């Protein structure tokens, strides 16, 4: 089994909840600009709790793809949230597997530092044919586990 990189208590804590709320409120506000609106595919990274997918659903997004490179975590999220499509692969591989111009919303919450793994992965994500020309992307880098207020 692949190593699980997430905090011991998961991603359900104040700073992360605030971050997710801001991202999906922003996506919500601009959803009319995207072909298909909230029916366009929304792709996001997920932890075992599926908190990001739950937030997307609360904001009315109907086609959610939750990605975790660990297939066991993706399967757990699928069991807990049967309305979510899951992929147990890298984010770039998931994006490249989706139909052309189907992804209107992409939330990339890498929660890590820039480096030799993250930068090429971002490049592959950005080149994926599944991204819409008029879609929206939110990226969280350089750690996301701070306990201080999100500014």
pLDDT tens string 35-75: 999 999 999 999 899 999 999 999 999 999 999 999 999 99
CB 127 within 8 A of CB 106: no
Q: How many CA atoms lie within 13 A of 107 on its CB side?
A: 30
| Secondary structure element (H or E) that encloses residue 57, with its range | helix 51-58
Task: Copy the structure tokens of residue 78.
Answer: 């699928």
Task: Copy the structure tokens of residue 54.
Answer: 């739950």
For residue range 78-94, list pLDDT tens digits in order. Answer: 999 999 999 999 999 99
Distance CA 110, CA 130 (A): 20
């Amino acid at each position: 089994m692949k190593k699980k990189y997430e905090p011991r208590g998961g991603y359900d804590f104040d700073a992360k909840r605030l971050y997710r709320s801001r991202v999906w409120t922003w996506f919500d506000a601009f959803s009319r600009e995207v072909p298909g609106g909230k029916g366009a595919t929304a792709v996001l990274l997920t932890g075992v709790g599926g908190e990001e997918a739950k937030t997307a659903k609360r904001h009315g997004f109907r086609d959610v793809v939750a990605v975790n490179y660990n297939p066991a975590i993706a399967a757990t999220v699928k069991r807990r949230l049967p309305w979510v499509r899951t992929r147990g692969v890298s984010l770039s591989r998931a994006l490249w597997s989706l139909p052309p111009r189907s992804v209107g919303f992409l939330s990339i919450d890498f929660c890590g530092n820039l480096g030799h793994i993250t930068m090429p992965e971002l490049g592959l994500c950005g080149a994926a044919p599944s991204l819409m020309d008029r879609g929206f992307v939110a990226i969280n880098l350089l750690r996301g586990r701070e306990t201080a207020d999100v500014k």
